[in-house]
Amino acid sequence: MRLRIRSLVLPASLTLGLVTATACAPASPTVNDEGVSSARLQRLSSAMQRAVNDGELAGLVTLVAHRGRIAHHEAFGHLDREAGVAMGRDAIFRIASMTKPVTSVAAMMLMEEGRLLLNDPVRKFLPAFEQTTVMGATPGDRVAARRPITVRDLLTHTAGVSYGTGPLEALYKQHDLYYWYFAHRAEPIGETMTRLAALPFAAQPGERWVYGFGTDILGAVVEQASGQTLDAFFEERIFAPLGMRDTSFYLPPEKRSRLAAVYSSDADGLTRAPEAWIGQGDYVEGPRQSFSGGAGLLSTAGDYARFLQMLLNGGELEGARLLSPTTVALMTSDHVGTLYDTSGGLGFGLGFETVEHVGRAGRPSSAGEYSWAGAYFTEFWVDPAHEVVAVFMAQLLPARSVPVRDRFRALVYQAIVE
C-alpha cells in the first residue's frame, strides 16, 4: 500500500533533539499517535537500558516510526565506553550487510531507466564473468557453470557465490578474497570482483541460496551500468535526494567523534574490538578506494529510517521519487521459494528477507514484512500492514548469545495497539 504521509518530518521543536548528541539519553519525541501506546513504549526503553546495564551491549540507538512519524528514537549507554563518551541519537554505525538493500535499490533504479534487466547476464557488464566455474567434489576440482549468472541471481543470493567460507576457505584466502570486509582494500571494487570471477563458486546458479559476494558483484554492475563509482551514484541518486546526510562508505574526519566503537562479546563479557581489519576498521584512516555494495556503508538510525520510509511509501519520500510502487512491490516479494526457508515462513526478494507466513516465521511480524541485518549487530524491518519502520543500531562483533535484537522486535510490536 502506498502511503501519502509526512515521512519522518518532525515539528521544529523536536528536530534538534533528534540530531544532537547529549551526555545522557534524552526522552523520545512526544508524538500524538493513538496507534502507539506510550506506556508500552516505555517497556521498550527500559529493556534497552537493561541490556546496557547488564553488559550485553556498550551502547545502542533504536528508532520506531509509525505511520510516517517517529514514535521512538532513543540512545542508550556509551558510544565509546573506555573514553566515557555517551551514545547520542546521531551516532554513526558500521552497517555492514544493511548496505545490500541500498545497492539493490540502486540496481532497480537502473532497471527503471532501461540500463539493465533482471535477466541480463552479469557478463554483459563484467566480461570476467563470461564463463564461471563451480567447485566440484573437492575445492580443487572445478566444473563449468550450467548457465550464466544473472542480475536477478545477484539480487536474490542464488548466484552460488559465497564469502569463501567452508571448503573454499583456503583457496579464497590464498587469493585474498575471504570474508566480507573491504575497507582496507586499495583497489576499486571492480578489480576485486574481476579476480573473484576466476575462482570457483559454491553452487550452480539458481540452485541454492548462498550468502556471499553477490551484492558486491552487483555494486560493480551498478558502476558499469551507470558510468559512476558506487559512492558517487549513492550520494547523487539516493543519499542527497533522501536527506541522508550522515551515510557514506568512509567517514569524513570531522565526524570521527560520532563513530560508535565496536565491541566483542564472549564468556568474559564485553571487550573492545582491535583497531585492525574488521575490529574498528579502516573507515577513517583507510585507503578509501573500495566501495563495497555488500557491506561497506556507515549510517545513523535516522538516516537509514528515511531510506526505509521511502520504501514503505512506495518509492518516494518528501517529493523525491527513487522507485515506482510496482518496483518496490517486486523487490519485497518472495522470489526463491523454499531455497531460502524450507518451512515456507520466510522468503527472499530482491535484497530483502520477506515474511510469507507469520506462524511459520515464528516471530512477531506481519505477512509482507521485509527486513535484513548487518554483521556489526544492526537490524531493520519494514511492516507495511502496521505502517511501521524499525531500526536497531549497535556495534558488537562477534555477538554470541545476545538476544537483545529479538527483545527489541517483541517490544516494538507490543507497543503497536492499532
Instruction: Give, to the nearest 10 degrees, the angle between helix 214-226 and helix 99-112.
Output: 40
- What does the domain layout of the chain look like in residue ranges? 1-89+306-318+369-418, 101-231, 333-367
> Is the pLDDT score of 130 beyond 50?
yes
CA-CA-CA-CA torsion sign (311, 233, 220, 108): positive
Task: Report the CATH fold assignment for 101-231.
Answer: Beta-lactamase (3.40.710)
Grid cell locating 347? 522468503
Judged against a pLDDT cut of 90, whether residue 312 lies above it is answered with yes
Cα distance between residue 300 and residue 14, in whole Å: 17
The CATH architecture that domain 1-89+306-318+369-418 belongs to is: 2-Layer Sandwich (3.30)
Does residue 36 carry a pLDDT above 60? yes
SS3 142: strand
Cα gap 376→399, rounded to integer Å: 8
* pLDDT reported for residue 33: 63
Task: pLDDT band for 2, please (50, 70, 90 cuts).
Answer: very low
- All 3 cell numbers of residue 209? 541460496
Helices marked H in 207-300:
214-226, 230-233, 240-242
Higher pLDDT, 253 or 13: 253
Span 68-85, average pLDDT: 97
Give the model confidence (pLDDT) of 159-180 as tens digits.
999 999 999 999 999 999 999 9
Q: Give me the mean pLDDT over the 83-95 stretch.
A: 98
Q: Is the pLDDT of residue 13 over 80?
A: no
Cβ pair 223, 230 in contact under 8 A: yes
pTM given for the model: 0.93
Residue 25 has pLDDT above 90, yes or no: no
Task: Determine the 3-state secondary structure of 98 from DSSP.
Answer: helix
Residue 9 has pLDDT above 70, yes or no: no
* 51-73: average pLDDT: 97
Position 268 scores a pLDDT of 83
